[in-house]
Structure 1
């Protein structure tokens, strides 16, 4: 599992012209782009949620758990693109939708269980993600 996390001042995801998830924090929040591969399972999804919740990338080396920062979770299979050959990426390392969708849901549910305020995109949809990156701070988490 890979999560590309960005510290944001605001973020939203739109599908067919309608905002389906957004965070407009008073201070900071996190945008989490989540990719799933074939070897991932529910245990990894829960561990990744804990890692993200405790990650100290907010101001004064605080975590989302320290300040109750909101999190916007967006599935993104392209995090597993392989660009080793040619100019066209291969998506073979990305888990197919029926495998990935429940694990993204498990990740989101685990964050909620930890106490996070979570918004999401729509799995498999053509989404437009808008954000104001703060810092900028962008970190790739992997398990």
Structure 2
């Protein structure tokens, strides 16, 4: 169930009710160091506007997100990093407020630090099935 504005931890951080280790702030975003990092320098960029998922976030609130992520990635000194954004419980979203992770991935750390992912290719989809999916998505754009 989506958190209300009154109970959303990220909304409380935006309002200053909960402290954070603020890295940067614009009119529309707040960026801070993750307090449960999976790598040194793991940071979050959140829109100030409360929206549970990316598809709920108005486009007018998105302009500063990627520039903030880029600045933080550069400032972290990470040569390798992941930008991660989850939507919904099945996709591992824990806080019901859109947020983006910048997660450094030190090459020498292997799978001991940073994001550990696999990429299971859906090999049982035929080219016709892929084309049907493409046509469906394209028709909705």
Instruction: Place the TM-score, normalised by the shorter chain, in its bin.
Output: under 0.3
Q: TM-score of the superposition, structure 2-length normalised?
A: 0.27
Which structure has the bigger radius of gyration?
2
Greater helix share, 1 or 2? 2
Which structure shows the bigger proportion of residues in strand conformation?
A: 1
